[in-house]
Each structure stands twice: as structure tokens, then as C-alpha cells.
Structure 1
Amino acid sequence: MGTSHIKRYTQQYSSNYVNCLVVCPECGKDALVKNGNDYKEAVLECRHCNLKKTGYDMVVYKAVIKLHCPVCAHPIRFERCEKEKHPSISVQCGECDSRFDIKPRYEKYFRNYSRKAQGLKQDDVFGCPLYFQDDCKGNLFWAKNREHLLEMEAYVSAELRTLPYRMRMVERLPAFVKDAKNREAVLKILKKWKNSYK
């Protein structure tokens, strides 16, 4: 018996998924994160509520000043979050009321939406939960975007899974997705996701 009728897996899309679909933090519908591998180029856009953020919008700087007052030696401690760095900040001694302009030390932070996505897979820059994710037999199952979804569908539905050289997306799939006994459950979720996003 020949193998010509067997459904073979062949790579459909690039395995470099730099864009991902997420849940919009403003309206809860689908939004797109472009260039999500680097905050300097990342952009979050929602076609429903017109939200638009860049990776730079999420950066904040904490200004930290610690010294002893040059007049009375009382300790002065100052911390404040700033959107921009300033060459100096005016601080006042709580003991003698002397005021000084001091160059602060800055700590860089990302203020993203990750607090709203506890336990869910999020994009790396904005911290928004991925749009395609679900529980599959006790495992968190997710797809970065429609291309990722379709690639997984092609792989899971194939009867013969010969991999092209260095097919990283498939190599990184969790074992439960590759397990033949979960094929029906995985394909059912992928179909649901596909139908939910037009």
C-alpha cells in the first residue's frame, strides 16, 4: 500500500512570529502587537477602539536620591517615577528645610498591562494576554497569531510529520500538542480560534 494518500506536514508560514494578536487592554477585543521582540520597535494597535501605544510609551524612570543634608547631616531620601529623565531634581531637607538641586540616579522600568493577565500567556512588551489561548486537558494552549495557529493546525492534522531542517516553531511545541492522543482536542480548539477571528 502506497503513502501518496497520507496527509504530510509541510511548512506553511515563516517560523519567526514577531507580530501577535492580543486582547486589547482598553476594549477587550483583538489588537495587534507589531515587532513584539523589541520594545524599541514594538507597537500596540487596536482597530476597534483606536488605541495605539509604542514600546517607549511603557517606559518609566524611577528617580532615586539618597544623601545626607550638607547643612545639618540629616538623611534625605527621595523616590519618584518620571516619564522623562531630568538632569537635576530639587529636594528639601525635612530637618532644616534647606533645598538642593541634586542629580538623581535613574532606574528604568516597564509599566505594562501584565497585572491584568495573571496566569495567561502575554506578549513580551505590553504584557497583554494573547488573543488565542485556552485550557487543553489541564495545559495552557496558545497561539501568537493566525499564522501560528494555521501552522500548528497543519502539523497536528498531518499523519506524516517529517520536519524540514531547523523548523523551530514545531520543535518548540509542547509535548501535549504533539501527542497523538490529544489530536482531536487540539484541533477542536484551533478550529474554534479560527472561527472566532475573521
Structure 2
Amino acid sequence: MKKKYKQEYFKYHEGIIVLCPNCGEGAAVKNENSYKLATLECNHCDLKKKGYDLMTYKAFVNLYCPVCTHQIRYEQYNLKERPKTINMNCDACDSQFQIQPKIEKYLNSYPKEQGLIHDPVFGCPYYFQIDFNGKLFWAKNREHILEMENYVSSHLRTRLPYRMRMVERLPTFIKEAKNREAILKILQKWKNLYK
């Protein structure tokens, strides 16, 4: 009898498993949709970070000196607090004045590697990702792996008319019967890799 797909495992509120920036093992990112609530925790090296701590400011000024009209440019990154004013000196006429800078907020996350999927707050690459015949195959967490395994191993896949599930948005190469065995082997490996 052919196995019929029924959604069982995947929940959208689960966290993401990423590569720990300290030890390279699996670490958990929770609440990745809000930098204010996001956390990164590694049980291997005891790394603990909060997304809110990554919030920094960039202050910049681009104007002409009010005395001699010489152009003044100033930028400062990685400010933990929003500066109200900045003391400026004109290089041309040595005039001194205070300016209210323009401010931009940004997350000072880890540098991202080209071609990989990263969590949106800390910028850590997903733990489960691999090149599959030139296409990136990835999973967010164990529940995502179990749900894809459930779907790929099913021969009968019915679609609900009123909503689209995660598995129905999977790339075609994952759903194709010719890739079934190879995809299932990768998913099994990932399941055993991080328990």
C-alpha cells in the first residue's frame, strides 16, 4: 500500500539550527523574526547572545561649512547609543560647531558567506544545508527535516484547496521521484547529525 502524505511535524514557531560562530557546532536561534526577542544559544560552547545587543547606530554628516562652504563628511559606525549632537571641525577654516547627525539603525551581525542561507538576525549559516546537483538544499530545524522526510517518502500527496503548506512550496528538485532516495539519505543524515 502506498503511503499518503499527512502534515505531522512542521511548526512555524520553532527556532532555527545554525552553525555556532564560536565552535562550529549546532546552535539554536529562537524568535528569529524579531531582533528584540531573538536569542542565539550553543550548548557545546555555552555561547549566549541576544539579538537586541547587536543593534548599533551609524551617525553621519554630509554638509558644507557654514563659514567657508568647504564640504564636510563624517561617518561613525558601531555606536551603541544614538548621539544627539557631534562636535565638528572644518579642515579648511578650523571653524568648530555642533551638528545633529543623521542616524541609521542596523544589526551588527556576523559576516555572511556567499551562497548560503543565514538566520536573519545573527547572520549565522543554517546548520543543515548542502549543494544538491547545483541547487541549495536546506532545512531550518529538526521538525522541518521530519516534515520534508514525511512528504518526500509519501507516494500520494493531496493538496488542500484553501491553503498552501510548507511542503507544497518546496523546490521541484526535492519533490521529483528521481531524487527521492538521495533526498531521503540527506534528511536521514541530518536527523542523525543533530539530536
1:101 to 88, 98, 105: 98
Deviations 1:40-91 (A, max 9, x none): 2211111122222222222222111122223333222111112221111111
**Is it true that 1:118 corresponds to 2:114 in the alignment?**
yes
Q: Distance in 2 between the 1:186 and 1:67 partners? A: 57
Q: Distance in 2 between the 1:168 and 1:101 partners? A: 56
Q: Distance in 2 between the 1:188 and 1:180 partners? A: 14
Greater mean alpha carbon deviation, residues 12-21 or residues 22-31: 12-21
| Pairwise CA distance, 1:180 | 0.7
| Pairwise CA distance, 1:112 | 1.6
- Partner in structure 2 of residue 77 of structure 1: 73
Tell me if the contact between 1:18 and 1:37 (Cα under 8 Å) persists in the aligned partners: no
| Pairwise CA distance, 1:167 | 4.4
Q: Distance in 1 between the 2:70 and 2:164 partners? A: 62
Provide runs of 4+ in structure 1 moved above 4 Å. Answer: none
State the identity %.
60
TM-score by length of 2: 0.91
1:177 to 174, 177, 181: 174
Q: Distance in 1 between the 2:11 and 2:194 partners? A: 21
2:24 to 22, 28, 43: 28
- Partner in structure 2 of residue 187 of structure 1: 184
Tell me if the contact between 1:45 and 1:52 (Cα under 8 Å) persists in the aligned partners: yes
Gap runs ≥5 in structure 1 = none
Deviations 1:111-133 (A, max 9, x none): 22243x22111112221110011
Q: Distance in 1 between the 2:133 and 2:73 partners? A: 51
Tell me if the contact between 2:10 and 2:147 (Cα under 8 Å) persists in the aligned partners: no
| Pairwise CA distance, 1:17 | 4.7
Q: Distance in 1 between the 2:3 and 2:68 partners? A: 82
Q: Distance in 2 between the 1:60 and 1:180 partners? A: 48
Tell me if the contact between 1:21 and 1:144 (Cα under 8 Å) persists in the aligned partners: yes
TM-score by length of 1: 0.89
| Pairwise CA distance, 1:161 | 1.6
- Partner in structure 2 of residue 60 of structure 1: 56
Q: Distance in 2 between the 1:16 and 1:68 partners? A: 51
Tell me if the contact between 1:67 and 1:76 (Cα under 8 Å) persists in the aligned partners: yes
Gap runs ≥5 in structure 2 = none
